[in-house]
Structure 1
Amino acid sequence: MVNLIEDKDKFLDKYNIEKEKFDKTGLMWDELREIYEDYSEQTHLLRVAGQNIAEILRVHPDAHSVRMRVKDPEHLIEKLIRKKINNEKFTFDVKNYKERVTDLIGLRVLHLSKDDANYIDKAIRDNWNLVETAIIYYRKGDLNDDEISNESQKSCNEKDLDFIYKEHPAGYRSWHYLIETNLTKEKYIAEIQVRTIFEEGWSEIDHKLRYPYNMDNERLNNQLMVLNRLAGSADEMVNSIKETITQFNKMNEVQEEQVKKIEELRNMIKQMGLEKHQSDSLLNKVDKIEEEQTNYVIRDAVTAAMAHPIKGFTFKEQVKLANTLRNTLEVAEKFRHAKLNMHEKK
Protein backbone atom coordinates (compact mmCIF):
# COMPACT_ATOMS: atom_id res chain seq x y z
CA MET A 1 0.00 0.00 0.00
CA VAL A 2 1.44 3.36 -1.09
CA ASN A 3 1.73 5.92 1.70
CA LEU A 4 -0.30 9.00 0.75
CA ILE A 5 2.48 11.33 1.89
CA GLU A 6 4.44 10.05 -1.14
CA ASP A 7 1.73 11.27 -3.53
CA LYS A 8 0.86 14.93 -3.10
CA ASP A 9 -2.04 14.96 -5.56
CA LYS A 10 -3.77 11.97 -3.99
CA PHE A 11 -3.26 13.45 -0.52
CA LEU A 12 -4.81 16.79 -1.51
CA ASP A 13 -7.69 15.02 -3.19
CA LYS A 14 -8.41 12.80 -0.15
CA TYR A 15 -8.55 15.77 2.21
CA ASN A 16 -10.45 18.02 -0.19
CA ILE A 17 -7.67 20.63 -0.39
CA GLU A 18 -7.68 22.69 -3.59
CA LYS A 19 -4.35 22.43 -5.41
CA GLU A 20 -4.42 26.12 -6.32
CA LYS A 21 -4.82 27.13 -2.66
CA PHE A 22 -2.02 24.79 -1.64
CA ASP A 23 0.33 26.19 -4.26
CA LYS A 24 -0.32 29.74 -2.99
CA THR A 25 0.95 28.79 0.48
CA GLY A 26 4.48 28.26 -0.83
CA LEU A 27 4.78 25.06 1.22
CA MET A 28 7.31 22.51 -0.03
CA TRP A 29 6.06 18.92 -0.12
CA ASP A 30 9.50 17.54 0.78
CA GLU A 31 9.43 19.57 4.02
CA LEU A 32 5.95 18.26 4.84
CA ARG A 33 7.17 14.71 4.19
CA GLU A 34 10.09 15.32 6.59
CA ILE A 35 7.68 16.46 9.29
CA TYR A 36 5.47 13.42 8.63
CA GLU A 37 8.40 11.03 9.05
CA ASP A 38 9.73 12.80 12.16
CA TYR A 39 6.30 12.79 13.79
CA SER A 40 5.62 9.14 12.91
CA GLU A 41 8.75 8.13 14.83
CA GLN A 42 7.50 9.95 17.96
CA THR A 43 3.86 8.87 18.10
CA HIS A 44 4.68 6.03 20.52
CA LEU A 45 6.15 8.42 23.10
CA LEU A 46 3.22 10.79 22.60
CA ARG A 47 0.78 7.93 23.17
CA VAL A 48 2.50 6.86 26.39
CA ALA A 49 2.52 10.47 27.65
CA GLY A 50 -1.16 10.81 26.79
CA GLN A 51 -2.08 7.56 28.53
CA ASN A 52 -0.26 8.73 31.65
CA ILE A 53 -2.31 11.95 31.73
CA ALA A 54 -5.53 10.03 31.09
CA GLU A 55 -4.93 7.61 33.97
CA ILE A 56 -4.43 10.50 36.40
CA LEU A 57 -7.66 12.14 35.25
CA ARG A 58 -9.69 8.90 35.30
CA VAL A 59 -9.34 8.48 39.06
CA HIS A 60 -10.95 11.87 39.71
CA PRO A 61 -14.39 11.31 41.29
CA ASP A 62 -16.10 13.92 39.10
CA ALA A 63 -14.72 12.57 35.81
CA HIS A 64 -17.39 10.36 34.23
CA SER A 65 -15.03 9.18 31.48
CA VAL A 66 -11.76 10.19 29.83
CA ARG A 67 -10.81 9.74 26.18
CA MET A 68 -7.32 10.13 24.75
CA ARG A 69 -5.99 10.19 21.22
CA VAL A 70 -2.74 11.00 19.46
CA LYS A 71 -3.16 12.91 16.21
CA ASP A 72 -2.76 10.76 13.12
CA PRO A 73 0.32 11.75 11.02
CA GLU A 74 -1.81 12.44 7.92
CA HIS A 75 -4.19 14.63 9.96
CA LEU A 76 -1.20 16.57 11.26
CA ILE A 77 -0.08 17.37 7.71
CA GLU A 78 -3.65 18.30 6.72
CA LYS A 79 -3.93 20.64 9.71
CA LEU A 80 -0.61 22.35 8.94
CA ILE A 81 -1.71 22.93 5.34
CA ARG A 82 -5.12 24.31 6.33
CA LYS A 83 -3.58 26.60 8.95
CA LYS A 84 -1.24 28.00 6.31
CA ILE A 85 -4.10 28.45 3.82
CA ASN A 86 -6.17 30.33 6.41
CA ASN A 87 -3.25 32.40 7.72
CA GLU A 88 -0.33 33.17 5.45
CA LYS A 89 1.68 34.42 8.46
CA PHE A 90 1.54 30.98 10.08
CA THR A 91 5.00 29.40 9.88
CA PHE A 92 6.45 26.06 10.97
CA ASP A 93 9.28 23.64 10.29
CA VAL A 94 10.47 20.22 11.42
CA LYS A 95 12.02 21.74 14.56
CA ASN A 96 9.00 23.64 15.91
CA TYR A 97 5.85 22.01 14.51
CA LYS A 98 5.21 20.29 17.89
CA GLU A 99 4.86 23.71 19.49
CA ARG A 100 2.86 25.20 16.60
CA VAL A 101 0.25 22.43 16.69
CA THR A 102 -0.87 22.12 20.31
CA ASP A 103 -3.25 19.16 20.11
CA LEU A 104 -0.91 16.37 19.06
CA ILE A 105 -2.00 14.78 22.34
CA GLY A 106 -5.72 15.34 22.87
CA LEU A 107 -7.76 14.40 25.92
CA ARG A 108 -11.45 14.82 26.60
CA VAL A 109 -12.84 14.67 30.13
CA LEU A 110 -16.61 14.18 30.36
CA HIS A 111 -18.62 14.97 33.48
CA LEU A 112 -22.29 14.68 34.44
CA SER A 113 -23.22 18.15 35.74
CA LYS A 114 -21.90 21.61 34.91
CA ASP A 115 -20.63 22.23 38.45
CA ASP A 116 -18.28 19.22 38.24
CA ALA A 117 -16.01 21.19 35.88
CA ASN A 118 -14.83 23.37 38.79
CA TYR A 119 -13.40 20.36 40.65
CA ILE A 120 -11.78 18.92 37.52
CA ASP A 121 -10.27 22.35 36.86
CA LYS A 122 -8.55 22.26 40.27
CA ALA A 123 -7.17 18.77 39.58
CA ILE A 124 -5.67 19.87 36.25
CA ARG A 125 -3.99 22.92 37.80
CA ASP A 126 -2.68 20.86 40.73
CA ASN A 127 -1.07 18.21 38.51
CA TRP A 128 0.30 20.15 35.53
CA ASN A 129 1.63 23.53 34.47
CA LEU A 130 -0.56 25.42 32.01
CA VAL A 131 1.15 26.63 28.84
CA GLU A 132 -1.37 29.45 28.50
CA THR A 133 -4.51 30.75 30.19
CA ALA A 134 -7.39 28.28 30.03
CA ILE A 135 -10.33 29.14 27.76
CA ILE A 136 -14.03 28.71 28.44
CA TYR A 137 -16.06 28.57 25.23
CA TYR A 138 -19.70 29.44 25.73
CA ARG A 139 -22.90 30.03 23.77
CA LYS A 140 -24.40 33.52 23.75
CA GLY A 141 -26.77 33.82 26.71
CA ASP A 142 -25.06 31.15 28.82
CA LEU A 143 -23.16 33.52 31.13
CA ASN A 144 -23.92 36.84 32.77
CA ASP A 145 -22.14 40.10 31.95
CA ASP A 146 -20.00 40.05 35.11
CA GLU A 147 -18.44 36.73 34.14
CA ILE A 148 -17.51 37.77 30.62
CA SER A 149 -16.86 41.49 31.04
CA ASN A 150 -14.22 42.54 28.52
CA GLU A 151 -13.40 45.60 30.58
CA SER A 152 -12.47 43.51 33.63
CA GLN A 153 -10.23 41.35 31.46
CA LYS A 154 -8.48 44.38 29.96
CA SER A 155 -7.68 45.71 33.44
CA CYS A 156 -5.13 42.96 34.15
CA ASN A 157 -2.56 40.84 32.39
CA GLU A 158 -4.08 37.89 30.54
CA LYS A 159 -1.60 35.57 32.27
CA ASP A 160 -3.05 36.55 35.65
CA LEU A 161 -6.55 35.38 34.70
CA ASP A 162 -7.87 31.95 35.57
CA PHE A 163 -9.89 31.85 32.35
CA ILE A 164 -10.49 33.71 29.11
CA TYR A 165 -14.16 33.63 28.08
CA LYS A 166 -14.84 33.27 24.37
CA GLU A 167 -18.28 33.25 22.77
CA HIS A 168 -18.39 30.51 20.15
CA PRO A 169 -20.42 31.32 17.02
CA ALA A 170 -21.56 27.70 16.64
CA GLY A 171 -22.70 27.49 20.28
CA TYR A 172 -19.82 25.22 21.31
CA ARG A 173 -19.41 24.86 25.11
CA SER A 174 -16.20 23.51 26.61
CA TRP A 175 -13.28 24.30 28.93
CA HIS A 176 -9.89 24.05 27.17
CA TYR A 177 -6.45 23.66 28.71
CA LEU A 178 -2.97 23.41 27.22
CA ILE A 179 -0.66 21.63 29.64
CA GLU A 180 3.02 20.78 29.61
CA THR A 181 4.13 17.21 30.20
CA ASN A 182 7.19 15.04 29.65
CA LEU A 183 8.26 11.43 30.20
CA THR A 184 11.71 11.98 28.68
CA LYS A 185 13.85 15.08 28.32
CA GLU A 186 11.57 16.37 25.59
CA LYS A 187 8.51 18.29 26.73
CA TYR A 188 5.16 17.85 25.01
CA ILE A 189 2.04 20.00 24.94
CA ALA A 190 -1.29 18.27 25.46
CA GLU A 191 -4.77 19.72 25.03
CA ILE A 192 -7.43 18.80 27.60
CA GLN A 193 -11.09 19.52 26.84
CA VAL A 194 -13.59 19.35 29.69
CA ARG A 195 -17.33 19.23 28.96
CA THR A 196 -20.62 17.61 29.97
CA ILE A 197 -21.83 14.38 28.39
CA PHE A 198 -24.74 16.25 26.77
CA GLU A 199 -22.36 18.78 25.22
CA GLU A 200 -20.17 15.92 24.04
CA GLY A 201 -23.13 14.35 22.26
CA TRP A 202 -23.94 17.58 20.46
CA SER A 203 -20.34 18.35 19.51
CA GLU A 204 -19.75 14.83 18.16
CA ILE A 205 -22.83 15.08 15.95
CA ASP A 206 -21.88 18.62 14.89
CA HIS A 207 -18.33 17.57 14.00
CA LYS A 208 -19.47 14.45 12.16
CA LEU A 209 -22.10 16.19 10.02
CA ARG A 210 -20.67 19.66 9.54
CA TYR A 211 -16.87 19.63 9.68
CA PRO A 212 -15.07 20.39 7.44
CA TYR A 213 -17.15 20.30 4.26
CA ASN A 214 -20.58 21.61 5.36
CA MET A 215 -19.50 24.64 7.35
CA ASP A 216 -21.55 27.03 5.20
CA ASN A 217 -24.74 24.96 4.99
CA GLU A 218 -27.24 27.38 6.58
CA ARG A 219 -30.08 24.88 6.97
CA LEU A 220 -27.82 22.32 8.61
CA ASN A 221 -26.34 24.99 10.90
CA ASN A 222 -29.84 26.05 12.04
CA GLN A 223 -30.83 22.46 12.83
CA LEU A 224 -27.62 21.86 14.76
CA MET A 225 -28.20 25.08 16.73
CA VAL A 226 -31.60 23.75 17.84
CA LEU A 227 -29.87 20.57 19.00
CA ASN A 228 -27.30 22.73 20.78
CA ARG A 229 -30.04 24.53 22.74
CA LEU A 230 -31.57 21.19 23.73
CA ALA A 231 -28.19 20.01 25.02
CA GLY A 232 -27.84 23.24 27.02
CA SER A 233 -31.33 22.82 28.50
CA ALA A 234 -30.47 19.22 29.43
CA ASP A 235 -27.39 20.46 31.32
CA GLU A 236 -29.53 23.00 33.16
CA MET A 237 -32.04 20.27 34.01
CA VAL A 238 -29.28 18.11 35.53
CA ASN A 239 -28.29 21.03 37.78
CA SER A 240 -31.95 21.52 38.71
CA ILE A 241 -32.28 17.83 39.64
CA LYS A 242 -29.17 18.09 41.84
CA GLU A 243 -30.71 21.12 43.58
CA THR A 244 -33.94 19.17 44.08
CA ILE A 245 -32.03 16.27 45.64
CA THR A 246 -30.27 18.73 47.98
CA GLN A 247 -33.66 20.18 48.94
CA PHE A 248 -35.04 16.67 49.52
CA ASN A 249 -32.11 15.84 51.78
CA LYS A 250 -32.50 19.05 53.79
CA MET A 251 -36.25 18.49 54.03
CA ASN A 252 -35.71 14.93 55.27
CA GLU A 253 -33.26 16.14 57.91
CA VAL A 254 -35.80 18.70 59.14
CA GLN A 255 -38.61 16.14 59.09
CA GLU A 256 -36.58 13.55 60.96
CA GLU A 257 -35.80 16.09 63.68
CA GLN A 258 -39.47 17.11 63.87
CA VAL A 259 -40.64 13.48 64.00
CA LYS A 260 -38.20 12.85 66.83
CA LYS A 261 -39.42 15.84 68.84
CA ILE A 262 -43.10 15.07 68.21
CA GLU A 263 -42.59 11.45 69.23
CA GLU A 264 -40.95 12.65 72.45
CA LEU A 265 -43.95 14.92 73.04
CA ARG A 266 -46.35 11.99 72.51
CA ASN A 267 -44.44 9.86 75.02
CA MET A 268 -44.50 12.69 77.56
CA ILE A 269 -48.31 13.03 77.18
CA LYS A 270 -48.78 9.26 77.60
CA GLN A 271 -46.68 9.29 80.78
CA MET A 272 -48.51 12.23 82.40
CA GLY A 273 -51.22 10.01 83.88
CA LEU A 274 -54.09 11.99 82.35
CA GLU A 275 -57.61 10.78 81.80
CA LYS A 276 -58.04 8.95 78.49
CA HIS A 277 -60.17 11.70 76.90
CA GLN A 278 -57.62 14.34 77.99
CA SER A 279 -54.73 12.29 76.65
CA ASP A 280 -56.52 11.60 73.34
CA SER A 281 -57.36 15.30 72.93
CA LEU A 282 -53.74 16.33 73.37
CA LEU A 283 -52.49 13.58 71.04
CA ASN A 284 -54.95 14.73 68.34
CA LYS A 285 -53.56 18.25 68.59
CA VAL A 286 -50.04 16.86 68.25
CA ASP A 287 -51.15 15.00 65.09
CA LYS A 288 -52.48 18.25 63.60
CA ILE A 289 -49.23 20.05 64.41
CA GLU A 290 -47.29 17.28 62.66
CA GLU A 291 -49.51 17.55 59.57
CA GLU A 292 -49.13 21.35 59.42
CA GLN A 293 -45.34 21.06 59.72
CA THR A 294 -45.29 18.61 56.79
CA ASN A 295 -47.26 21.05 54.63
CA TYR A 296 -44.84 23.86 55.51
CA VAL A 297 -41.85 21.73 54.45
CA ILE A 298 -43.49 20.88 51.11
CA ARG A 299 -44.32 24.54 50.45
CA ASP A 300 -40.77 25.60 51.30
CA ALA A 301 -39.30 23.02 48.90
CA VAL A 302 -41.58 24.12 46.05
CA THR A 303 -40.84 27.80 46.73
CA ALA A 304 -37.10 27.07 46.61
CA ALA A 305 -37.51 25.28 43.28
CA MET A 306 -39.36 28.30 41.83
CA ALA A 307 -36.64 30.64 43.12
CA HIS A 308 -34.04 29.11 40.76
CA PRO A 309 -35.25 29.50 37.16
CA ILE A 310 -33.86 26.99 34.69
CA LYS A 311 -32.24 28.43 31.59
CA GLY A 312 -34.13 27.42 28.47
CA PHE A 313 -37.40 26.80 30.37
CA THR A 314 -40.43 29.07 30.07
CA PHE A 315 -42.24 30.25 33.20
CA LYS A 316 -45.09 27.85 32.40
CA GLU A 317 -42.67 24.94 32.19
CA GLN A 318 -41.07 26.04 35.46
CA VAL A 319 -44.48 26.07 37.20
CA LYS A 320 -45.21 22.60 35.82
CA LEU A 321 -41.88 21.37 37.19
CA ALA A 322 -42.64 22.89 40.61
CA ASN A 323 -46.07 21.22 40.66
CA THR A 324 -44.43 17.91 39.83
CA LEU A 325 -42.08 18.45 42.74
CA ARG A 326 -45.03 19.22 45.03
CA ASN A 327 -46.87 16.05 43.98
CA THR A 328 -43.72 13.98 44.43
CA LEU A 329 -43.19 15.34 47.93
CA GLU A 330 -46.80 14.67 48.88
CA VAL A 331 -46.62 11.07 47.62
CA ALA A 332 -43.34 10.57 49.49
CA GLU A 333 -44.92 11.92 52.68
CA LYS A 334 -47.97 9.62 52.36
CA PHE A 335 -45.64 6.68 51.83
CA ARG A 336 -43.67 7.65 54.94
CA HIS A 337 -46.86 7.82 57.02
CA ALA A 338 -47.99 4.43 55.70
CA LYS A 339 -44.66 2.90 56.73
CA LEU A 340 -44.97 4.46 60.21
CA ASN A 341 -48.51 3.09 60.63
CA MET A 342 -47.39 -0.39 59.57
CA HIS A 343 -44.53 -0.19 62.05
CA GLU A 344 -46.88 0.86 64.89
CA LYS A 345 -49.29 -2.01 64.15
CA LYS A 346 -46.43 -4.47 64.37
Structure 2
Amino acid sequence: MIAPKKKSESVASILKAIREQYPVIEGFGTTVEAILTKDPRVVPVIHSFKRRLKEEKSIKEKIMKKRLSGVQIDSNNVFSEVTDIYAVRLIHLYPHDVRVVHNVIVDHAAKKDWILVEKPKAYTWDPDSIKFLKSLGLKCELKSSFYTSVHYLVKPRKNSAAICEIQVRSLLEEVWGEVDHKIKYKGLTEDERINEHLAVLARLISAGSRILSAIQKK
Protein backbone atom coordinates (compact mmCIF):
# COMPACT_ATOMS: atom_id res chain seq x y z
CA MET A 1 0.00 0.00 0.00
CA ILE A 2 1.27 3.47 -0.89
CA ALA A 3 1.59 5.72 2.12
CA PRO A 4 -0.51 8.89 1.95
CA LYS A 5 1.41 11.99 0.96
CA LYS A 6 2.37 14.08 3.96
CA LYS A 7 0.45 17.34 4.08
CA SER A 8 2.61 20.44 3.82
CA GLU A 9 2.76 22.76 6.81
CA SER A 10 0.62 25.84 6.32
CA VAL A 11 2.36 29.04 5.31
CA ALA A 12 0.66 30.77 8.25
CA SER A 13 2.34 28.34 10.64
CA ILE A 14 5.75 28.93 9.02
CA LEU A 15 5.29 32.71 9.21
CA LYS A 16 4.42 32.37 12.90
CA ALA A 17 7.73 30.55 13.48
CA ILE A 18 9.58 33.33 11.66
CA ARG A 19 7.72 36.02 13.58
CA GLU A 20 8.87 34.47 16.85
CA GLN A 21 12.49 34.72 15.68
CA TYR A 22 12.25 38.28 14.35
CA PRO A 23 13.86 39.88 17.45
CA VAL A 24 16.82 37.48 17.30
CA ILE A 25 17.26 37.91 13.54
CA GLU A 26 17.00 41.70 13.69
CA GLY A 27 19.28 41.87 16.72
CA PHE A 28 22.02 39.93 14.97
CA GLY A 29 21.54 41.90 11.75
CA THR A 30 21.99 45.23 13.49
CA THR A 31 25.12 43.86 15.19
CA VAL A 32 26.59 42.88 11.80
CA GLU A 33 25.71 46.30 10.44
CA ALA A 34 27.37 48.07 13.38
CA ILE A 35 30.55 45.99 13.16
CA LEU A 36 30.99 46.58 9.43
CA THR A 37 29.99 50.23 9.19
CA LYS A 38 32.25 51.20 12.11
CA ASP A 39 35.26 49.13 11.11
CA PRO A 40 38.09 51.62 10.40
CA ARG A 41 39.18 49.60 7.37
CA VAL A 42 35.72 49.77 5.79
CA VAL A 43 34.77 53.36 6.60
CA PRO A 44 37.09 54.97 3.97
CA VAL A 45 35.74 52.90 1.07
CA ILE A 46 32.02 52.83 1.85
CA HIS A 47 29.81 55.39 0.12
CA SER A 48 26.63 54.38 1.97
CA PHE A 49 24.78 51.43 3.43
CA LYS A 50 21.23 50.15 3.66
CA ARG A 51 19.40 47.67 5.85
CA ARG A 52 16.21 45.71 5.31
CA LEU A 53 14.04 43.40 7.42
CA LYS A 54 11.96 41.44 4.93
CA GLU A 55 8.22 41.93 5.29
CA GLU A 56 5.95 38.93 5.85
CA LYS A 57 4.29 39.46 2.46
CA SER A 58 7.63 39.11 0.67
CA ILE A 59 8.60 36.08 2.77
CA LYS A 60 5.27 34.43 1.96
CA GLU A 61 5.80 35.03 -1.77
CA LYS A 62 9.29 33.52 -1.56
CA ILE A 63 8.01 30.44 0.29
CA MET A 64 5.26 29.92 -2.28
CA LYS A 65 7.71 30.36 -5.17
CA LYS A 66 10.12 27.81 -3.69
CA ARG A 67 7.30 25.33 -3.07
CA LEU A 68 6.16 25.68 -6.68
CA SER A 69 9.70 24.77 -7.75
CA GLY A 70 9.53 21.60 -5.66
CA VAL A 71 11.31 22.73 -2.49
CA GLN A 72 9.64 21.46 0.68
CA ILE A 73 9.63 24.24 3.25
CA ASP A 74 8.41 24.05 6.83
CA SER A 75 9.16 25.79 10.11
CA ASN A 76 12.15 23.48 10.67
CA ASN A 77 14.08 24.41 7.53
CA VAL A 78 12.68 27.81 6.56
CA PHE A 79 15.66 29.67 8.04
CA SER A 80 18.06 27.73 5.83
CA GLU A 81 15.84 28.14 2.75
CA VAL A 82 14.91 31.81 3.16
CA THR A 83 18.24 33.35 4.11
CA ASP A 84 17.64 37.03 3.36
CA ILE A 85 15.10 37.90 6.05
CA TYR A 86 17.56 40.51 7.27
CA ALA A 87 20.01 42.08 4.84
CA VAL A 88 22.73 44.71 5.08
CA ARG A 89 23.95 46.33 1.87
CA LEU A 90 27.32 48.07 1.70
CA ILE A 91 27.81 50.34 -1.30
CA HIS A 92 31.33 51.32 -2.35
CA LEU A 93 32.47 53.79 -5.02
CA TYR A 94 35.33 52.09 -6.86
CA PRO A 95 34.82 48.51 -8.16
CA HIS A 96 38.02 47.11 -6.63
CA ASP A 97 37.09 48.42 -3.17
CA VAL A 98 35.14 45.20 -2.78
CA ARG A 99 38.50 43.61 -1.92
CA VAL A 100 38.70 45.68 1.28
CA VAL A 101 35.17 44.80 2.38
CA HIS A 102 35.66 41.13 1.51
CA ASN A 103 38.83 40.89 3.59
CA VAL A 104 37.11 42.55 6.55
CA ILE A 105 34.11 40.19 6.43
CA VAL A 106 36.40 37.15 6.26
CA ASP A 107 38.58 38.57 9.05
CA HIS A 108 35.59 38.97 11.38
CA ALA A 109 34.62 35.38 10.61
CA ALA A 110 38.13 34.28 11.60
CA LYS A 111 37.70 36.21 14.86
CA LYS A 112 34.41 34.35 15.50
CA ASP A 113 32.30 37.52 15.39
CA TRP A 114 30.17 35.41 13.03
CA ILE A 115 30.48 32.31 10.89
CA LEU A 116 30.10 32.06 7.13
CA VAL A 117 27.11 29.87 6.30
CA GLU A 118 28.43 29.11 2.82
CA LYS A 119 31.16 30.21 0.45
CA PRO A 120 30.56 33.85 -0.58
CA LYS A 121 28.99 34.29 -4.02
CA ALA A 122 29.65 36.93 -6.64
CA TYR A 123 26.88 37.42 -9.18
CA THR A 124 28.36 38.90 -12.33
CA TRP A 125 28.37 38.49 -16.10
CA ASP A 126 31.40 40.66 -16.93
CA PRO A 127 34.55 38.62 -17.84
CA ASP A 128 36.94 41.14 -16.22
CA SER A 129 34.90 41.18 -13.03
CA ILE A 130 34.80 37.38 -12.94
CA LYS A 131 38.60 37.22 -13.16
CA PHE A 132 39.06 39.77 -10.37
CA LEU A 133 36.41 38.31 -8.06
CA LYS A 134 37.74 34.78 -8.48
CA SER A 135 41.16 36.07 -7.43
CA LEU A 136 39.54 36.91 -4.07
CA GLY A 137 38.36 33.32 -3.71
CA LEU A 138 34.75 34.13 -4.52
CA LYS A 139 32.42 31.71 -6.24
CA CYS A 140 31.10 33.43 -9.38
CA GLU A 141 27.60 32.79 -10.72
CA LEU A 142 25.84 34.23 -13.75
CA LYS A 143 22.28 35.54 -13.59
CA SER A 144 20.47 35.98 -16.89
CA SER A 145 19.04 39.26 -15.59
CA PHE A 146 22.55 40.85 -15.54
CA TYR A 147 22.27 41.26 -11.75
CA THR A 148 25.64 42.02 -10.16
CA SER A 149 26.49 41.92 -6.45
CA VAL A 150 28.59 39.97 -3.95
CA HIS A 151 26.63 38.10 -1.28
CA TYR A 152 27.69 36.70 2.09
CA LEU A 153 25.56 34.73 4.53
CA VAL A 154 26.64 34.97 8.16
CA LYS A 155 25.19 33.74 11.45
CA PRO A 156 26.30 34.09 15.08
CA ARG A 157 26.74 30.36 15.66
CA LYS A 158 26.08 27.10 13.87
CA ASN A 159 22.70 26.25 15.45
CA SER A 160 21.23 29.77 15.29
CA ALA A 161 18.15 30.62 13.22
CA ALA A 162 19.48 34.15 12.76
CA ILE A 163 21.12 34.68 9.38
CA CYS A 164 22.15 38.01 7.94
CA GLU A 165 22.76 38.47 4.24
CA ILE A 166 25.53 40.95 3.49
CA GLN A 167 25.33 42.46 0.01
CA VAL A 168 28.35 44.33 -1.34
CA ARG A 169 28.17 46.27 -4.58
CA SER A 170 29.47 49.40 -6.25
CA LEU A 171 27.48 52.62 -6.52
CA LEU A 172 27.01 52.06 -10.25
CA GLU A 173 25.79 48.51 -9.64
CA GLU A 174 23.36 49.94 -7.09
CA VAL A 175 21.91 52.21 -9.79
CA TRP A 176 21.21 49.18 -12.00
CA GLY A 177 19.79 47.26 -9.05
CA GLU A 178 17.40 50.05 -8.12
CA VAL A 179 16.12 50.34 -11.70
CA ASP A 180 15.64 46.57 -11.87
CA HIS A 181 13.78 46.62 -8.54
CA LYS A 182 11.39 49.33 -9.76
CA ILE A 183 10.68 47.36 -12.92
CA LYS A 184 9.89 44.21 -10.94
CA TYR A 185 7.64 46.21 -8.60
CA LYS A 186 5.68 47.50 -11.60
CA GLY A 187 5.39 43.98 -13.03
CA LEU A 188 7.27 44.80 -16.24
CA THR A 189 9.70 41.86 -16.18
CA GLU A 190 7.97 40.20 -19.16
CA ASP A 191 8.38 43.27 -21.37
CA GLU A 192 11.09 42.31 -23.88
CA ARG A 193 11.98 45.91 -24.69
CA ILE A 194 12.46 46.73 -21.02
CA ASN A 195 14.74 43.72 -20.61
CA GLU A 196 16.77 44.82 -23.62
CA HIS A 197 17.14 48.28 -22.10
CA LEU A 198 18.29 46.70 -18.83
CA ALA A 199 20.92 44.69 -20.71
CA VAL A 200 22.20 47.86 -22.41
CA LEU A 201 22.26 49.66 -19.05
CA ALA A 202 24.26 46.77 -17.56
CA ARG A 203 26.88 47.15 -20.30
CA LEU A 204 27.05 50.90 -19.73
CA ILE A 205 27.50 50.25 -16.01
CA SER A 206 30.33 47.85 -16.84
CA ALA A 207 32.01 50.47 -19.03
CA GLY A 208 31.63 53.04 -16.28
CA SER A 209 33.17 50.64 -13.78
CA ARG A 210 36.25 50.26 -15.98
CA ILE A 211 36.61 54.04 -16.16
CA LEU A 212 36.34 54.31 -12.37
CA SER A 213 38.99 51.61 -11.96
CA ALA A 214 41.31 53.54 -14.29
CA ILE A 215 40.71 56.74 -12.30
CA GLN A 216 41.42 54.95 -9.01
CA LYS A 217 44.79 53.73 -10.31
CA LYS A 218 45.96 57.28 -11.08
TM-score by length of 2: 0.83
- Which residue, out of 31, 37, 46, partners 1:58? 37
Q: Take 1:217 and 1:66, find their aligned partners in 2: how far apart are those partners?
A: 31
Q: Take 1:144 and 1:95, find their aligned partners in 2: how far apart are those partners?
A: 36
**Matches of residues 1-346 of structure 1 in structure 2 within 5 Å?**
31-59=10-38, 60-61=42-43, 62-85=45-68, 87-88=69-70, 90-128=71-109, 129-143=115-129, 162-181=137-156, 186-210=160-184, 213-244=187-218
Q: Take 2:29 and 2:133, find their aligned partners in 1: how far apart are those partners?
A: 32
Task: Supply the AA of the counterpart residue of 2:192.
Answer: E
Range moving further from structure 2, 113-122 or 126-135: 126-135
Q: Take 2:154 and 2:132, find their aligned partners in 1: how far apart are those partners?
A: 27
Q: Take 1:231 and 1:143, find their aligned partners in 2: how far apart are those partners?
A: 12
Deviations 1:209-262 (A, max 9, x none): 136833332100011111112222222221111222xxxxxxxxxxxxxxxxxx
Q: Take 2:162 and 2:20, find their aligned partners in 1: how far apart are those partners?
A: 15
When Rg is computed on C-alpha atoms for both structures, the one with the higher figure is 1
Structure having the higher helix fraction is: 1
Unpaired runs of at least 5, structure 2: 1-5, 110-114
Q: Take 2:131 and 2:166, find their aligned partners in 1: how far apart are those partners?
A: 26
Structure having the higher strand fraction is: 2
- Deviation of residue 142 (structure 1)? 3.5
Specify the SS of the correspondent of 2:151: strand
Range moving further from structure 2, 200-209 or 34-43: 34-43
Specify the SS of the correspondent of 2:145: coil
TM-score by length of 1: 0.54
Specify the SS of the correspondent of 1:188: coil
Specify the SS of the correspondent of 2:147: coil
Q: Percent identity?
A: 29
Specify the SS of the correspondent of 2:46: coil
Root-mean-square deviation (CA, aligned residues, Å) is 2.5
Task: Supply the AA of the counterpart residue of 2:47.
Answer: H
Task: Supply the AA of the counterpart residue of 1:223.
Answer: H
Q: Take 1:36 and 1:147, find their aligned partners in 2: how far apart are those partners?
A: 36
**Contact 1:57–1:66 (Cα < 8 Å) also in 2:** no
Specify the SS of the correspondent of 2:163: strand
**Contact 2:21–2:161 (Cα < 8 Å) also in 1:** no
Q: Take 2:79 and 2:116, find their aligned partners in 1: how far apart are those partners?
A: 16
**Contact 2:153–2:163 (Cα < 8 Å) also in 1:** yes
Q: Which one scores higher on RCO, CA 8 angstroms, separation ≥ 6?
A: 2
Deviations 1:33-67 (A, max 9, x none): 11122222322222221111111111222222221
Matched length:
203
